[in-house]
Structure 1
């Protein structure tokens, strides 16, 4: 009996140890470090699968050596040869400990450029930021987090060409717009309850009663002639779509004075018809006429030979 008790205590202890080990594995955090000119400029502690924070090379200070200014142009993973395959991109999930280094280049033909942070309808969300880089050099910027909005891309890359160039980062609202005709009740424990109604569709009273006696709708029910509405169902007004911003892309190349990545579709009037759309009917008619002429000549020749 004593041996069984001893064995049970050993098994219980082993189980407790294994659970603690598993807990430690689940709570393990990875370290992401960024080095610039030999110094650590950023340290991030991330659980497995968490995303890298927004971080631009342009936010790293320049440094001067022998009267030559060196400008930070990119952040790449340490030990990787190809810069394009190892860029630091915000939003990338962290799966291991990582070290990154800032790449510098001599500032020989400096140009300034400005980044604006806008909604797709042109509303400014943050103050514009101005940076310096080399002409014909690539610049990569992470889209900063803005509460209530989602960037159309997590990172933007562009080539600096003109001094004073302006580049736009576009955002979409993540807050759904209220549906006209709905009623929202706001409760405050210190004040009276306030009811806010979103304006809906205005209905003009008919000149002739729309209902026959005995068929008056119950209070709260609205009936439109020709339509049946089931109580408890919510309908979206015709022509109004409730959309959710798409998942942003990891890296997008943009040009100066760029437009939103996903703007309204072109209207039918703005779409130019193709050559076949314009002249396809005439081409078909001509081909049919040639076919008839050919068949007529063929049968005429056969008739003469007979």
Structure 2
């Protein structure tokens, strides 16, 4: 056997095959176009939100700082999976090498974990703003916000560093077809020919612990917020306080609902088809919904957007 044949056989053995969404679709070209449009909308929507927050001084507050971090995570989040999926469909390939699979898995786990903790930090920020308004500027200063955001990224990366190496070192001696459109841990673990029960149990406990910690922070924050709002004498104050929290709670329900299904429900509830549908929801649709939720339901953001569009014609007239 010559070196070329040996290398080809080795590559085939180490590559994974992503079954993906398009194989089961009756109109793959139309589905590909739809996902491309959603992808571009997610990138442009989140980039615009970050631009508005950076450029408008009225949005230089802790709440909008965390929203900009969420938008950054969503942009990276959708870019981790969708471009590879679309390129495979266009080029007619569906292979992914083991290093590429490991990198995709690590980035995905890091971003998911970071978003868990970021959503908890955002709930804590709203608790401080509404329940302790006098101490809020001191306790949630720029340094505190940077530390919280850095902590979210760090804890998310710990999740990636813990799960990715273990998952990718399992022996895969059977089928290398991943019944998913990206390298998600449960989908890859199913391909192993070794006993993964202990690892799956530890992964389940890790995910439960992470979700419980963040859900406890979120639920406690909103319990105190609700109690504070109910004690407010001003109806306008109650309305404003609830308005600032409703957008965040919508995002929390969307994100956590899908995560609970993926990582906390027993395997008897899972099928490859259901897993892909849920993953499409929180991997592709959630990043495009988040900027819409925060922009359409937020007066400050819509005012900043109007201001930006009003400045542009004036600048064009000045140039002329």
Report the TM-score range of the alignment, normalised by the length of the smaller protein: under 0.3
Task: Give the structure with the larger helix fraction.
Answer: 2
TM-score normalised over the length of structure 1: 0.22
Q: Could you say which structure has the greater relative contact order, defined with CA pairs below 8 angstroms and 6 or more residues apart?
A: 2
Q: Which has the higher strand share?
A: 1
Q: Flag the structure with larger Rg.
A: 1
